Amino acid sequence: MKSFTSFSDIADLSSLVQDALACKKAPLSFSSLGQHKTLVMLFFNPSLRTRLSTEKAALNLGMQVISMNADQGWNLEFEDGAIMNAGSAEHVREAAAVISQYADVIGIRTFPSLKDRDKDYADQVLNSFLRYARVPVISLESAIRHPLQSLTDVLTVEEYKKTSRPKVVLTWAPHPRALPQAVPNSFVEWMRHAGVDLLITHPQGYELAPEFAAGIPVEYDQNKALEGADFVYAKNWSSYLQYGQILNQDPDWQITRQKMERTNDARFMHCLPVRRNVIVEDAVLDSASSVVIEQAGNRTYAAMAVLKSILTNAL
Amino acid sequence: MKSFTSFSDIADLSSLVQDALACKKAPLSFSSLGQHKTLVMLFFNPSLRTRLSTEKAALNLGMQVISMNADQGWNLEFEDGAIMNAGSAEHVREAAAVISQYADVIGIRTFPSLKDRDKDYADQVLNSFLRYARVPVISLESAIRHPLQSLTDVLTVEEYKKTSRPKVVLTWAPHPRALPQAVPNSFVEWMRHAGVDLLITHPQGYELAPEFAAGIPVEYDQNKALEGADFVYAKNWSSYLQYGQILNQDPDWQITRQKMERTNDARFMHCLPVRRNVIVEDAVLDSASSVVIEQAGNRTYAAMAVLKSILTNAL
Amino acid sequence: MKSFTSFSDIADLSSLVQDALACKKAPLSFSSLGQHKTLVMLFFNPSLRTRLSTEKAALNLGMQVISMNADQGWNLEFEDGAIMNAGSAEHVREAAAVISQYADVIGIRTFPSLKDRDKDYADQVLNSFLRYARVPVISLESAIRHPLQSLTDVLTVEEYKKTSRPKVVLTWAPHPRALPQAVPNSFVEWMRHAGVDLLITHPQGYELAPEFAAGIPVEYDQNKALEGADFVYAKNWSSYLQYGQILNQDPDWQITRQKMERTNDARFMHCLPVRRNVIVEDAVLDSASSVVIEQAGNRTYAAMAVLKSILTNAL
């Protein structure tokens, strides 16, 4: 693996998952693999879990970590040929090439605008770093994907599944703010290769981008969708069709204890942060069915498996 | 020691102080004790000394440190049962439990609102982390206590005392802004167990909360209070009775060279930062009597003793 | 070397450059020299290259690094005798002395106001830290100098020069904002000792401060200046004479491919960040003549040589 920005970057999902599980069993087995190697993480948008878990993963591998918030005084230009006489002080060509000399791996966190669909789906910030960096790049969530989360999700399903081919339901849930589609996009991109029966449920108008969701069944009736589910993965996202819009805030889409009763004693999953009593009832989140904390804990081991792959190829 | 948030968390003050002094003598004696252990520090409010000294202490013990400013894009919900459809994106239940998976010790820095006394004195941020974290929690100053500072203060008195039972005077001093009561609260909580004669002096209306100051003599005449003092500990705080108010800015309460002459050649102490020529005259701060720099230096060894206790129990 | 804030702090330029080149050849040769030593970097102004390269340099030497942005809630007082009853919460006397107890080396980054020339040229922030710190201080760019950049520049010229005494042209170039004079000041201060023929070209009114540029020839005709140049070092700066003003935004001062043809196949240098198609054409920056990326890469080795000198003296 050279860079890690989408499912297509990995050679084999199953072996990557096994690697992550091995890291979980013995997190310090490779504690000198990354010696004198530096991970530089650039946060164009805030992050809690991703920053901490990736940093912990790198430290477990013996790497050095430098985290920078690119929030103030650091406006990059991404357009080729730009005459830079306005707000942007540096072109990504220089920034990416320069940082590559101080880093062995670069992590990039960036969100979509949710205003211009074509621009967001071009994933310009991440792709510019991919293009101009001279070292491997890791997506710490981009405008349209969150692959470290998705690997974690596959790993968590693997750990908790009770049947060889579990039914996994990705369900939209209400939220007061317009959120990116990165997590559900990526979830579908990965889960379709994970040996599960994947079903998506959401209100009309919340169809995900075809490049991610094509061929995956959609059930508009949430109650029906949840029948017999082994895993319920809740997440809000804004509309792709009416791009970035909130079309629905119907509290009936919230995951409640009552709804969980329709499932096959399903595990409840969410990438966090989660809005309690908006996305999901306290009664579900605080029940034994919820594995959201363990899921977040797995972020470290997903990141370790990815960094380990990159370091191994690079050495 | 599991967590360190107030005096009641420690087993024995005297042995903790001796431990800190031993760390000061040989700061690298335990440099592998914390190997592969991670301290995550969350700053809900800014910090200079506490951040640097605690980070240095952790590094001396061989720990890894991750510091995060929780200042933007990171609004936690602290109320149980909240319907989170407004500003807060994550509940402390998840945040604390999740961070516990990336950290071996969590440090929390938080200030009071100075608006709602009951709420501040419930010390909600710190106590929520204590409740939901799954690893030891260290207070890096909470709404009402600053125990790392107080341990440092006891340590510093121990180093500089010339008699077996010195007279220690905590004196209020003027300040242009309304400040928390955390430092004086905690100072009294610890110093009453430190084998000293403790006296508090402040203008009427600045009485500290009974849960901290009950039984400690108060002298409203500062000049009288300073007579024969071995240590003068200056600090501003806002009123507890008229909660969060500034009742007095009388410059006569400033500590001057002239006032220091009433003492028994006392050492001048302050937790820093200090407003020069408002809290204390340059002539005092720059004199040989002042030990404020040495006091701040001791912060490292107080933090080392605390982290060492936590790591030792945890191992 | 005790501190590193200007050319006058170093013993011998040539041996420092050789040291940096040796670090470049074998960056991990001294990886235990800085063990248990801490570099604390304080950023009063933002930084990308300087922060990352200096941190990388310190890590290569086995040091621990703590970086702090002194941007919010941290207003220092720099005036002696100030009555601190307004915005400043801490005097640099305390701040510098206290941080010295947590750090073995302190790095300071600060920019000029560009409003008050005398004040800027007194370089108060850096000089206050120099005065009150009890450990070596490194300038990470001050109001009037950027010595880590200049050492890098000398190093880069040394690497790329094709003749024993190359012609180096420092050329002003247009920019939409008023920029400090720190980089050109420092460039001239160092390059005049670097065994090169140094020439400065800029529009009338952009003369640099005599304390830096006295005795160095100035050619107001850029085209003439570039004739036969071996190195073209482009940089914008605001006026020293009409202090902090933008006197000229003439696009004819931009470095173009056509202008580069007047040179002796010169290398193009810039300290970065650079405004593309304002300071310099894409065609130059993306050509084989440009060494700006390699130049930025050399920042690490310049910082290593400086830190190594400091650590060696200090041990």
With an 8 Å Cβ cutoff, are B297 and C81 in contact? no
Instruction: Specify burial of residue C32 (Cβ count, 10 A radius: 0-12, 13-18, 19+).
Output: exposed
Tell me which residue in B74, B77, B84 faces A46 most closely, judged by beta carbons. Answer: B74
Q: How many CB pairs under 8 A join A and B?
A: 72
DSSP-derived 3-state class of residue B170? strand
Please state, in angstroms and rounded to a whole number, the distance separating the CA atoms of residues C15 and C22.
10
Closest to B51 measured CA to CA, from B30, B70, B36, B65: B65
Specify the DSSP element, H or E, that contains C304.
helix C292-314
Core vs surface per residue B183-197: b (16+ CB within 10 A) or e: bbbbbbbbbbebebe
Cβ of A235 under 8 Å from any chain B Cβ?
A: no
Contact B59 C38 (CB under 8 A): yes
Interface chains of chain A (3 or more CB pairs under 8 Å): B, C
Q: How far apart are CA B290 and CA B96, in angstroms?
A: 40
pLDDT for position C232: 98
Q: What percent of chain A has pLDDT over 90?
A: 95
Alpha-helix residue ranges (DSSP H) falling in A36-146: 49-60, 92-99, 117-121, 124-132
Residue C200, min C-alpha distance to chain B (Å) = 43
Chain B hits for C77, Cβ within 8 Å:
276
Structure confidence at residue C171 (pLDDT):
98
Distances (CA, A) of C113 to B273, C81, C247: 25, 22, 17
Contacts of B275 in chain C (CB under 8 A): 84-85, 89
Mean pLDDT of the region C235-261: 98
State the pairing for strand pair B267-269/B137-139. Answer: unpaired
Helix, strand, coil content of chain B in percent (nearest 5): 35, 15, 45
CA distance B283 to A278: 60
**Closest Cβ opposite residue C98 in set B49, B55, B60:** B49
What does the alpha-carbon distance between residue B278 and residue C20 come to, in Å, rounded to a whole number?
A: 48
Give the torsion through C-alpha atoms of C64, C70, C74, C79, to 10 deg: 100
**Amino acid C9: pLDDT:** 97
Summarize pLDDT for B101-155 with one digit per residue, the tens: 999 999 999 999 999 999 999 999 999 999 999 999 999 999 999 999 999 999 9
CA distances from A310 to A4, A7, A167 (A): 8, 15, 32
Amino acid at B141: E
What is the DSSP code string of B281-298?
Answer: -HHHHTSTTB-HHHHHHH
* Residue B294 CB contacts under 8 Å (≥ 6 apart), including other chains: B156, B159
Q: Does the model's pTM come out above 0.90?
A: yes
User: Residue C282: pLDDT band by 50, 70, 90 thresholds?
Assistant: very high
- pLDDT for A315 equals 44
d(CA C225, CA C219): 6
Separation CA C100–CA A22 (nearest Å): 43
Identify the residue among C94, C128, C135 best suited for mutation to test binding to B, counting B beta carbons within 10 A and taking the highest. Answer: C94
Of B101, B1, C186, B301, nearest to A56 by C-alpha is B101
- CB-based contact, C13 to chain A, within 8 Å: no
Residue B269 CA, chain-centre distance (Å), reads: 13
The Cα-based distances of B124 to B40, B108, B112, B142, C286 in angstroms read: 19, 12, 10, 9, 56
B291 near C CB under 8 A: no
Name residue B278's amino acid.
V
The strand pairing partners of C139, in sequence order, are C108
Decide if C83 and B48 are in contact by the 8 Å CB cutoff: no
Of residues C31, C55, C277, nearest to A66 (C-beta): C55
- CB neighbours of residue C242 within 10 Å: 12
User: Contact at 8 Å (CB) between C235 and C178?
Assistant: no
Query: Confidence band (pLDDT; 50, 70, 90) for A75?
Result: confident
**Position C1 confidence tier, pLDDT thresholds 50, 70, 90:** confident
Closest CA to C190 of C25, C310, C306: C306
Across the beta sheet with B38-43, the strand order is B64-69, B38-43, B105-109, B137-139
CB-based contact (8 Å) between A45 and chain B? Answer: yes
Nearest to B98 among A276, A277, A293 (CB): A293
Identify which of A10, A58, A129, A168 has the alpha carbon closest to the alpha carbon of residue A50: A58
Give me A293's structure tokens.
């904390």
Q: Is A108 helix (H, G, I), strand (E, B) or coil?
A: strand
> Side chain identity at A162, as an amino acid letter?
K
| Token pair belonging to B101 | 């998976």
Q: For C293-310, what is the mean pLDDT?
A: 98
pLDDT in tens, A95-116: 999 999 999 999 999 999 999 9
Distance from CA of A99 to the nearest CA of C (A): 8
Amino acid B72: pLDDT: 58
Copy the structure tokens of residue B56.
């240095």
CA-CA distance, C55 to C61, in Å (whole number)?
10
- Does residue B148 contact residue B306 with C-beta atoms inside 8 Å? yes
Q: Would you call B46 and C82 a contact, using CB atoms and an 8 Å cutoff? A: no
Question: Could you list the pLDDT tens digit for every one of the 315 residues in chain B?
Answer: 899 999 999 999 999 999 999 999 999 999 999 999 999 999 998 899 999 999 999 999 999 999 998 765 578 999 999 999 998 999 999 999 999 999 999 999 999 999 999 999 999 999 999 999 999 999 999 999 999 999 999 999 999 999 999 999 999 999 999 999 999 999 999 999 999 999 999 999 999 999 999 999 999 999 999 999 999 999 999 999 999 999 999 999 999 999 999 999 999 999 999 999 999 999 999 999 999 999 999 999 999 999 999 999 854
Task: Tell whether omega for the bond before B273 is within 30 degrees of 0, i.e. cis.
Answer: yes
Give the SS3 label for residue C311.
helix
Give the nearest partner residue to C297 out of A64, A74, A101, using CB atoms: A101
Side-chain half-sphere CA neighbours of A233 within 13 A: 26
- Nearest Cα neighbor of A63 from A26, A31, A23 is A31
**What is the signed CA dihedral for A286, A290, A293, A296, rounded to 10 degrees?**
-150
The count of other CB atoms within 10 Å of the CB of residue A32 is: 10
**What is the 3-class SS of B2-71, one letter each residue?**
CCECCHHHCCCHHHHHHHHHHHHHCCCCCCCCCCCCEEEEEECCCCCHHHHHHHHHHHHCCCEEEEEECC
Mean pLDDT across the stretch C5-13?
97
Say yes or no for a CB contact (<8 Å) between B293 and C66: no
In tens, the pLDDT along A201-221 reads 999 999 999 999 999 999 999
Which residue from A minimizes the CA distance to B103? A56
Helices (H), chain A: 13-25, 49-60, 92-99, 117-121, 124-132, 147-160, 182-191, 210-213, 222-226, 257-260, 282-285, 292-314
Helix (H) or strand (E) holding C139: strand C137-139
Residues 80..109 of C with a Cβ closer than 8 Å to B: which? 81-86, 89-91, 93-95, 97-99, 101-103
Report pLDDT for B315.
44
How many C-beta atoms lie closer than 10 Å to residue B21's C-beta?
15
Residues in chain A closer than 8 A to C275 (CB atoms): 84-85, 89
> Which pLDDT belongs to residue A71?
67
CA dihedral (B2, B7, B11, B15) positive or negative: positive
Q: Check pLDDT > 80 for residue A178.
A: yes
For C20-72, write each residue's pLDDT tens digit: 999 999 999 999 999 999 999 999 988 999 999 999 999 999 999 999 987 65
